[in-house]
Structure 1
Amino acid sequence: MKPADAGACPCGRLDAKRRPLNWNACCGRYVDHFSSAPAPDAESLMRSRYSAFVRERAGYLLATWAPSHRPVALDFEPGCQWLGLDVRAHRMLDGTHAEVEFIARSRLRGRATRLHERSRFVRAHDADGTARWFYVDGEIFE
């Protein structure tokens, strides 16, 4: 397995020259430094949550879930291989609410799947008083 800081970020974000961003320059700065580096917008949070799923970082996923919708625990599907993320749209609804539509592809036990979702996010203050984006819930498209 690669070290956490090696290689391209799982979310697939590209730099200005259309090269994949490194983990530390992309989602790693949020996932690995949650307390000091909140994601600046809903799309960045959504991308970092996808990357946290790829790297099975349950603590980050739970911490970035809106408390009113947060599950008690999070389990990962053994053997799930994440294949890519396509962000279709990022829309600010107002100063504290946003939506991100995306398709995440994966493979489990030889079967390819797609998750097409419009996720809802809210910007609120955490227990420490830091303003952060939180995942609320999502509408899944068939």
Structure 2
Amino acid sequence: MIHDGKPAADPEALMRSRFSAFALDKRDHLLRSWHPQTRPESVENDPGLRWTRLEVLESSGGGLFDAEGAVEFRAHYRDGGTPGVMQEKSRFVRHEGQWVYWGPLR
């Protein structure tokens, strides 16, 4: 399982594992799967926020010989009972042979 340290096959698989890690409050996986140059010191969970659904809109790159990939997604949540959506196009890069999250593409 990716949450236990198994490498993700591609950026989309890593994106899905990171979404579920946010939903399940698996901060260790979030930090481990973040590139060291952009990784925060810690990740805090908002107790009023509940991640409910992930929609992958587009995936590019991330093939066997690619050094980078991108995943555009919508993450649905409930904040104190009020529904919301966060949309991002994320950049993923290979670091020490494994896919890691770099940050949002601008």
User: What is the TM-score with the length of structure 2 in the denominator?
Assistant: 0.92
The residue that corresponds to 1:73 in the other structure is 42
- Tell me if 1:30 matches 2:16: no
Q: Note the C-alpha offset of 1:42.
A: 0.4
Which of 67, 76, 86 lines up with 1:96 in the alignment? 67
Higher relative contact order (CA 8 A, sep 6+): 2
Q: For 1:30, give the aligned amino acid.
A: I
Q: For 1:90, give the aligned amino acid.
A: S
Q: Deviations over 1:66-111 (max 9, x none)?
A: 0000000110110212120000011007711000000000001122
Partner SS state of residue 61, structure 1: helix
Q: Note the C-alpha offset of 1:139.
A: 3.9
Q: For 1:73, give the aligned amino acid.
A: S
Deviates most, 62-71 or 88-97? 88-97
- Runs of 4+ in structure 1 displaced over 3 angstroms? none
Which of 64, 86, 89 lines up with 1:118 in the alignment? 89
Q: For 1:133, give the aligned amino acid.
A: W
- Tell me if 1:137 matches 2:103: yes
Aligned residues: 104
Higher strand share: 2
Q: Deviations over 1:27-68 (max 9, x none)?
A: xx100x20xx10010000000000000000000000100000
Q: For 1:137, give the aligned amino acid.
A: G
Q: Note the C-alpha offset of 1:112.
A: 1.2
Give the unaligned 5+ runs of structure 2.
none
Give the unaligned 5+ runs of structure 1.
1-28, 126-130
Q: Do the aligned partners of 2:54 and 2:75 also contact (CA within 8 Å) in 1? A: yes
- Tell me if 1:63 matches 2:29: no
